Amino acid sequence: MPSTVNKTAHAFDKVRLDALLNRRFFYAPAFEIYGGVAGLYDYGPPGSSLQANIIAEWRKHFIIEEHMLELDTTIMTPAPVFETSGHVARFADWMVKDTKTGDVLRADHLVKNVLEARLAGDKEARGLAAAPVTDDKKKKKKGAKAAAVQLSDEVVKEYETILAQLDNFSGPELGELCRKHKLTNPDTGNEVGEPQQFNLMFLSSIGPTGQHPGYLRPETAQGHFLNFSRLLEFNNGKVPFASAQIGRSFRNEISPRAGLLRVREFTMAEIEHYVDPEDKRHERFHEVRDVVLILLDRHVQEAGSSTTTRLTVGEAVKKGVIANETLGYFIARIYLFLLKIGINPERLRFRQHMGNEMAHYATDCWDAEIHNATGWTECVGCADRAAYDLSVHTAKTGHPLVVRQALKEPIITEKEVSEWNKKNLGKTFKQDAALIQSLVESMDEPELLRIKGELAQGAAIIKSEDGREFQLTPDVLTVERKTIKQSIREYTPNVIEPSFGLGRILYTLLEHSFWSREQDVERGVLSLPPLVAPTKVLIVPLSARDEFNPLVQEVSSKLRKAGVFSRVDDSNTSIGKRYARNDELGTPFGLTLDFASVQNRTMTLRERDTMDQRIGSIDDVITTVTELVFGNIDWAQACTRLPAYDGVQAID
């Protein structure tokens, strides 16, 4: 049987994790030798591989399994697109400025950080929590940690209520909170000014003259919507269907201070699922009906609480907590994906947006929030965008982004219909003819009946938006009641949008995977699942002597042909140090080649977390480790295949 491991012997230490990630170059500040720019990061070899593996699994889990249509649309976007979508007017956060230094802070983050620090100080004063270890130099520089001051029970309750409702506050309300609770810049202790809106899009220009303004996209979604007609045609005119895209997006964050959790350039993976607004059922809903989720709905938050509820997706949809089957289906699929790549299910919840925080395009939205050292962080949003985007782009361009569905049974109705004498219309009204025709065509049934009655009396008067009046006579217009047979239903589909911030998922996964060996706190381990681990197998020859080269090449070649990514570490350090180094890189399995391997063609297999070692023939070990990497067997099953290695091999 495999050994057991105590991964909680030492408390989580973010400083140790950050040092490991920096030392092993998972990621680092971009342009570092020039001083760096806040919110911009470069990924090193292990970070790039980890992200690529997460993306590869995302494509399998969503695009391939759901038969989605994949896109790759442009980053640079003409300004009219975002003017129409509402981003130019409303894609903004509230910021406040330090009244003396001019430093800029995001208003809701200021409220959150200061109130949480005060609550932490209250717990410390009550003896409910130990004082965290701090770096004195850093403490003096930042001044962000509140002193251990006990608060009254009423103030504690008020602070907790504010934090529960924080995402629902408007800019002026955030300003009022800053004044009422004397919230100052934690770095300087200075007062802050009134909140102001700051648009998060990066403005640019297209072409040499600067006459065509554009923006770096803050999301990939608009590229999906503008190609809807082509996508619908590619899908043979059938709805529902989904498009998907993985690509870079840009947001000019006010004060990015949380590593990969808040950056200005990042990789997104977005899905736009188009569905009939009258039928939001999902044909595969039964497959996820029994998935249990931790939910925090809007009503609980608005009441000032953060108490979560465990519900199956089926129950949540039935009770109306989640609006419809399609939204519920994708929330469950998001949950299953995050668990598959290694997120701790007990540190994952779905929080519903409150009314004030809802994006301008959404009618309902749930965030997959993952708990980490900074608190709960939104990593995936799942929004019901209704028909907002397709409707506004249709209205702006005149291009109908609609579905035309052939009806099995025609719908027969009677309605008032305008009939024009085009010759008389043009002769009488000349350049205003098109305007008049448009005014009448846009009238509803009661207005057409009024016009019909007035025409029967000799003439009808209509008005344009600019106040001009036009007199219509029966020789120009008649209104008749006709029987209409409708064989085609035309509608604008609704959109369900899961949107993934891959950098945030990557960081929280690293945090959830990190622990230190019970016997040595300095020996950090990243327990990344083989599915996403940057390197799957480490090949460790006992020494760099030439006699090992043929075996190293053979093992490496066989793993490569099996589709298993491996690395060879033939450095001069001890095998133990080489394994410890790769434990920090999250490599799940190690293969050791020694003198017995050369003589007997045997090889040992080491598992990262338990450090257990098994032995077998080279071919048997390669077969076993390949099945481990692809998830066909687990370590317990591998232990039944290969005998334990006792540290001694017979050699002549």
How many whole angstroms separate alpha carbon 183 and alpha carbon 173? 13
Contacts by 12-17 with C-beta closer than 8 Å and gap 24+?
A: 12/373, 12/511, 12/514, 12/515, 13/516, 13/521, 14/373, 14/511, 16/514, 16/516, 16/521, 16/524, 17/510, 17/511, 17/514, 17/524
What band does 275 get if pLDDT is binned at 50, 70 and 90? very high
Averaged pLDDT score across all residues of the chain: 92
Sequence-distant (≥ 6) Cβ neighbours of residue 445 within 8 angstroms: 415, 416
Q: Which two tokens stand for residue 613?
A: 């070692």
Summarised one tens digit per residue, pLDDT across range 376-429 is: 999 999 999 999 999 999 999 999 999 999 888 888 888 889 999 989 998 998
Q: Do 93-196 and 410-491 agree at the fold level? A: no
Spans of all domains in the chain: 17-73+220-389+495-503, 93-196, 410-491, 535-641
* Cα–Cα distance, 141 to 270 (Å, whole number): 40
- Asked if residue 189 has pLDDT above 60, the reply is yes
Q: Give the per-residue pLDDT at 650.
A: 55
Burial of 456 (0-12, 13-18, 19+ CB in 10 A): exposed
Q: Which CATH superfamily is domain 17-73+220-389+495-503 in?
A: Bira Bifunctional Protein; Domain 2 (3.30.930.10)
The answer to whether 432 and 470 are in contact (CB under 8 A) is yes
Mean pLDDT of 310-320: 97
CA gap 590, 601 in Å, rounded: 16
**Do 416 and 483 form a contact (C-beta atoms < 8 A)?**
no
Mean pLDDT calculated for residue range 192-198? 92
pLDDT at 129: 67
pLDDT band at 168 (very low <50, low <70, confident <90, very high): confident
The CATH code that applies to domain 535-641 is: 3.40.50.800
Q: Quick check: 329 pLDDT over 60?
A: yes
Tell me what pLDDT residue 159 has.
Answer: 93
The pLDDT of 63-72, averaged and rounded, is 98
Using one digit for the tens of pLDDT, what is the confidence trace for 546-574? 889 999 999 999 999 999 999 999 998 99
Note the pLDDT of residue 652: 53
Q: pLDDT digit string (tens) for 117-166? A: 999 899 888 888 654 444 444 433 444 556 788 899 999 999 999 999 98
What CATH number should be reported for the domain whose range is 93-196?
3.30.40.230
Considering only residues 143 and 630, tell me which one the structure prediction assigns the higher pLDDT. Answer: 630
The pLDDT of 616-622, averaged and rounded, is: 96
How would you label 204-237 residue by residue, b for 16+ Cβ within 10 Å and e otherwise? Answer: beeeeeeeeebbbbbbbbbbbbbbbeebbeebee
The single-letter DSSP state of residue 458 is: T
CATH number of 410-491: 3.30.720.200
Task: Please give the pLDDT value at position 258.
Answer: 83
CA distance readout (Å), 131 to 8, 39, 159, 170, 189? 20, 30, 20, 34, 22
Q: What is the mean pLDDT of residues 164-170?
A: 88
